[in-house]
Structure 1
């Protein structure tokens, strides 16, 4: 399973955790990196001070083992987050939700490897022009924020792999070893798994949220909020209000009023399953237990080897 992504980030397996709000604290990042992948601290739900605290704790736990930070560029505190990243000498940053040209040069000059999350070939090319070291192709199967193009991972990944000369990381709907193998077949050099790690023991998500997610079936999540930034939601009471508003053509302003303040924290971190904004990927329907990160790695690697051995042309 050794690829260019392993060499780029100094890791054993080309498996990266998503920088998920209210899930990706230092404990999850530490566990993923210790298992041989690349753990990311999710700055999207943090203040600069809290981000610094998580970076310090993660580095203390890992020593020289690599880890990184995921930074949504639309965050109004992005500039202060960058200052924390520079001051703490973080060596890997995954940016998302904005123009990678804003900070890529600055981050690289401070010694960072930079990857940027994209949802189309157009933005992959822009990210490459901005100087990023890799791009993450996130299909709309994913939880969290998605591209408005609604391209699936299987459609997006090979197109981006053909269009850019830098390594490609596939994301969205990947939670098993055979899915990792499929991503490699499409031209990816690595995978980013969000949902699988969000439902791990080390995730900081509320137990109510985790337990609900491992009961969900096909069709229990839907893409919503397309007038804002598309996000995949579990069908709860909050989602039903959003769906009703969207069906009658509610404006972006009205949707923002329904969402209110810290709706994702209410659902994912505090465990309100009715009124919270519950973001999770479609692949949750295949996950049926809450495992440690190390057990996830062991299972994914075993599944990958089995899937590889079954290919008729792999001898």
Structure 2
């Protein structure tokens, strides 16, 4: 397979109810860096209703946006329908690199696309680079974050998923111009997904919070979580949690911070009774200011903390609450 057959970087811009997921803007920022190195076009693909506003992708750096339109097909999260349409588009464009956000939906669509194209896929990348051979190096943690694996694919397109909040968003330039090409969707014959009702357990998004107050397994009961909630509310933030606490059933997975939860980069991150397992640190260690409260002076969380408080959080947190109120 000749590499010259393939050219360009393609970003899948996921949309839900006509709103484009912000991970697409992060991928466009990294995609621009890769395309300049390869001296090729940066493209974006949106699958959604005709009324989806895709101009923002141009403002964020895309040279060309391919808008595959259909009101009905893309009204439900049907991975097979999305994958079929993406495979058709990729087959026509022949990009050498395809990037997906590692959202719940992206993680489901990307491997289906890769399998249909008979190419490789590296999941949950933390960095992407072009080597001296002009090949994509896909970098991701392995062995509980103890090493960084550098992966290259022999097949094209080279595909990767990247977690939300891994890269900076591409800067916005409303004066940028680009080409928007509208295409008709391929009719889906799967009809496997039907949305009967949408349920929202909690309206939270810790990934975008400016302040996160996280609780660990040191929290003994749901009643004790009230002081964590109060501290977060006073600071205008959201409540996070370690995986260990989520597994106790005291708090939902929507609050989980870490490699298997949400990656956060708040201005302030307060870790309450969290020891600092590698999987948790991977999800919060790039916060601007990290404050750790733990009664174990050797807790790994103190290795990344800007401010460390050794002591009983049941005494310290109420004091913090009183100080803030005063």
Tell me the TM-score normalised to structure 1 length: 0.35
Q: Which has the larger share of helix?
A: 1
Q: Which has the larger share of strand?
A: 2
